Amino acid sequence: MKPRPLTYRDSGVDLQAAEGFIRHIRTLALSTHGPDVMPSGDEYAGLYRLPQSSGNQPLIAATCDGVGTKLLVARDCHNYRGIGQDLVAMNVNDLLPRGARPLFFLDYIAVSRINSVPLTEIAEGIATACREVGCALLGGETAEMPDLYRDKDCDLAGFAVGLVDASLAPQGYPTAGDIILGLPSSGIHANGLSLARRVIAVAGLSYQDRVPGLDSSIGEELLIPTRLYVGPVLALLQRARIKAAAHITGGGLLLRMAKLATSNLRILIDPATYSRPPIFDVLARHGNISEAELSQTFNMGLGFVAVVSAKTAEQFREQPCGEWRIVGKIVAGQQGVDLGYANT
Q: What span, in angstroms and rounded, lies between the C-alpha atoms of 263 and 271?
A: 24
SS (HEC) of the chain: CCCCCCCCHHHCCCHHHHHHHHHHHHHHHHCCCCCCEECCCCCCCCEECCCCCCCCCEEEEEEEEECCCHHHHHHHHCCCCCHHHHHHHHHHHHHHHHCCEEEEEEEEEEECCHHHCCHHHHHHHHHHHHHHHCCEEEEEEEEECCCCCCCCCEEEEEEEEEEEEHHHCCCCCCCCCCEEEEEECCCCCCCCHHHHHHHHHHCCCCCCCCCCCCCCCHHHHHCCCCCCCHHHHHHHHHHCCCCEEEECCCCHHHHHHHCCCCCCEEEEECHHHCCCCHHHHHHHHHHCCCHHHHHCCCCCCEEEEEEECHHHHHHHHHCCCCCCEEEEEEEECCCEEECCCCCC
Q: What span, in angstroms and rounded, lies between the C-alpha atoms of 60 and 243?
A: 19
Determine contact, residues 289/221, Cβ cutoff 8 Å. no
Q: Is domain 12-42+56-168 given the CATH code 3.20.20.70 in the classification?
A: no
pLDDT value, residue 6: 57
Nearest alpha carbon to residue 273 among 336, 180, 188: 180
pLDDT tens column, 233-276: 999 998 889 999 999 998 999 999 998 988 899 999 999 999 99
pLDDT value, residue 31: 80
pLDDT value, residue 4: 72
Q: What span, in angstroms and rounded, lies between the C-alpha atoms of 162 and 62?
A: 6
pTM for this entry = 0.91
Nearest alpha carbon to residue 152 among 124, 196, 114: 114
| Mean pLDDT, contiguous 10-residue spans, the chain (344 residues) | 65 68 74 79 75 75 96 96 97 96 95 88 95 94 88 92 89 90 96 96 96 95 98 93 94 92 91 95 96 95 96 85 92 91 52
- Provide the pairing of β-strand 302-308 with 244-247: antiparallel
Beta bridge partners of 107: 140, 158
Q: Is domain 179-338 given the CATH code 3.90.650.10 in the classification?
A: yes
CATH 3.30.1330.10 residue window(s) in the chain: 12-42+56-168
pLDDT value, residue 168: 82
pLDDT tens column, 201-214: 999 999 999 999 99
CATH 3.90.650.10 residue window(s) in the chain: 179-338
Amino acid identity at 19: E
- Estimate the crossing angle of helix 83-95 against helix 119-133, to 10 degrees: 40
